[in-house]
Each structure stands twice: as structure tokens, then as C-alpha cells.
Amino acid sequence: MATGAPITAGTATVRRCLAVRRLELGDFRNHPRLLLEAGPQPVVLWGPNGAGKTNILEALSLLVPGRGLRGASLAEMDREGAPGGFLVRARLDAADGPHEVEVRHRRGEGREIVLDGHRLRGSAGLADRGVAVWLTPAMDRLFVEAPAARRRFLDRLTLEVDPTHAGRVAAFERLARERLAVLRGPRPDPAWLAALERRMAELAVAILAARRQALEGLRRELARPVMGFPALELRVEGELERRVEGRSALEAEELCRQALAALRRRDAEHGTTALGPHRSDLRVTALDCGEDAARASSGRQKAMLCAILLAQIRLRHAWHGDLPLVLVDEPATHLDAGRRARLFGAIAELGCQAWLTGTDREIFAPLEKRALFLRVDGARVERT
């Protein structure tokens, strides 16, 4: 079937979930034009490397708050050689009904998001429609990379239960930059610094509380994992967490404010903010043996990520009554056939619309008759 022709699948009765029923791409990555339709069931995108499978997942990830599963710039997502920017347009089924979403980039301009004909100020406005969770090969080194990657992962986990979390994180980072600019200026204004630090302290404590609440929910889910995946303990470590542990919110805010004021000279000299939620780290250990994820084998680490993914899905349903869109890129990487089958089965049983990619159709044999299979090759898509 030609790329421009709609690809359709039947419908099925499922629990309330975020599902993409129609996707249209224009000049996005290697796709000059793509149009496909799907039902609520899983969608398998299979075909050779470099065909554009992951690019479709990335486009889907732009339909929820954030920068997408690659964290790429808008210009990177424009198709090479195309005169304008890209277009991602979709018809969604959400918990509150159907919606039309359009995400557009014009070269030299920012991202434009239109929801049901109304332009949004930013991607945070998409949070009420639902969220997405994903697992990609780039995440396979999450536990051994620098803390920044785990912190971003932690904040995505938190966003799934608290849609306002991303706004607080962005506001704290903006105020931290403003404070550093004042500190490094010719005549820092103490009153202005005090006002900035007071607001930063309020945001920092709220960020820590939201992360803690999300992790408490995830711990409950991770204590009863899907068979074949490890039970895990998640915790957040950091200097700010140590300082405010056991304190009330007001006490924690005051301690944070005082610490920021005491660190002014140090921060001015180093050009960084030494204390705050941007210094936190996520630690993951196996409950059965106490093994730290950073020391586990590649296969064990992938199994841990799968356990967290499934816990995210269950937690979202427990908190909000709906299910997220699930994006899984190349699940065959570091995951044996038995665990792949259990992962696919668990996702299907939960009732999510999941989009999965791989080079070989046989990898997804457990999903036969339960999923829509699409072959992607040379930016062309056909039903198989």
C-alpha cells in the first residue's frame, strides 16, 4: 500500500486509554508524507534499520507534553532539504473523548501546537488529554550514565501522575538562571536575590514532594511486578533531600532559602546553583538481592526498565483512571524472547495502545491477531 493511502484496522473494546486513531506526517525526519489509521490495539512497525520506524514513534511522542522521546531540537526533526518545517497531525481518542492535535514547526520559528482548533501556549496544555510512556535503546544505559539522564527520567515518571510538575521544574530552572545573572552582575540587588531565592525554595520543595509522591506510588506497583521482571526499590538522593528530610513543607522551604542565600558567593564564582532539585539522582535496586541497577548486566537492566514501564502504566490508571500511550522502540535489544513475550502480553492485557518497532516481524509473534502489523521501508508503510 502506498505511503499516502490510509492504513486501517478494526476496533475493539478497551479500557479508557490515549490512542492515536489517525496520524499524518509532513516533512518529518525522513517522511515527506505519511498517512495511516489504527484502532486502539497495539501497532507493530517492522522493517529494516533506517526505514523511519523510530521517527514515527518520535512524532507520536510530540502529541504529549515534553520535547519528545529523543529530546531533539525542532530543526533536527525537519526533513533534510524540505523548504519549510515539519507537520505532525493526529486524531486522538482520550479519556474525555476525541481530539484533533496539530504540532507544526516552521523554519526559523518555534513550535506551534493547535488542539481542537485552539492554539496552545506550550506543550503543557496537552497534559489534560493524556500522557505517553516509552522505552528506547537510548535508555539502556540510563543506570550507568550521568545523573542528569536519570533526573529527566524521574521527572517524566512524576509528570505522568502530576501534569503540573513540568511547569514547576521549568520555572525553577528559569529562576536559577535569573539568580545567577543577578549574582554575576556588577551590583547584585540583595532584595531581588531574596525574592528569587524565596520563590526557588517554594518550587524546590514542591518538586521534591511531587517526586516523592510519584515514587511512593511506583514502589507499590513495583512490589508486585509482572512475572519474569524484578521487584524494585526506587529512591531519590541529593543534598537538598538530605537537608529537608523529616521537615514540614514550611520548614523545608525556609532551610532551602537560607542555604541558597549562604551559597551566593560560591554560586557566583562557579556560575552554577549548588543546591536544588536539579542536583537529585534516582537510584534503583532489586528487592530480591539488593543489586544496584548500575552494577547489573545489560539484560538485567533492560528487565528493570520494563518493570518500571509496566508500573508506570498501572500507576497512571490507578491515579487518573486512564491509560497512557505506550511507545517501545526495538524491544529485542538486551531482552530475551521469554521476557519479550511477557512484556507484549502485559501491555496487551492492560489495554493500552502500544506502538512497537523492530527489524523482524517474528519478534512480535506473541502479538499475532492482537496487533496491527505495518511494514516500514524507505519511508513507505504497508499493512502486512
Residue 218 covered by a domain: yes
| Residue 15: predicted pLDDT | 55
What's the average model confidence in pLDDT over 190-212?
A: 97
42: in domain: no
Residue 260 domain-assigned? Answer: yes
Q: What is the pLDDT of residues 112-133, one digit of tens each?
A: 999 999 999 888 788 888 889 9
Instruction: Return the bridge partners of 20, or none.
Output: 92
Which structural domain range is residue 173 located in? 149-295
Write down the pLDDT at residue 224.
84
In percent, the amount of the chain with pLDDT more than 90 equals 80
pLDDT tens, position by position, 217-258: 999 999 888 888 999 999 999 999 999 999 999 999 999 999
For the stretch 62-116, pLDDT in tens is 999 888 999 899 999 999 988 889 999 999 999 889 999 999 998 878 899 999 9
Confidence of residue 7 (pLDDT cuts 50, 70, 90): very low
Single out the residue of 29, 6, 22 nearest to residue 105, CA to CA. 29
45 in a domain, yes or no? no
pLDDT reading at 161 higher than 50:
yes
User: Above 90 in pLDDT, residue 193?
Assistant: yes
Is 78 a member of any domain?
Answer: no
Q: For residues 253 and 8, what is the distance between their CA atoms, to the nearest angstrom? A: 53
Whether 247 is covered by a domain: the verdict is yes
Assigned domain for 51 exists: no
Measure the CA–CA gap between 164 and 162, rounded to whole angstroms.
5
The domain that holds 215 is classified in CATH as 1.20.1050.90
As a whole number of angstroms, the distance between CA 78 and CA 106 comes to 9
Q: Which of 8-17, 149-158, 198-207, 298-307 has the lowest mean pLDDT?
A: 8-17
Total count of domains within the chain: 1
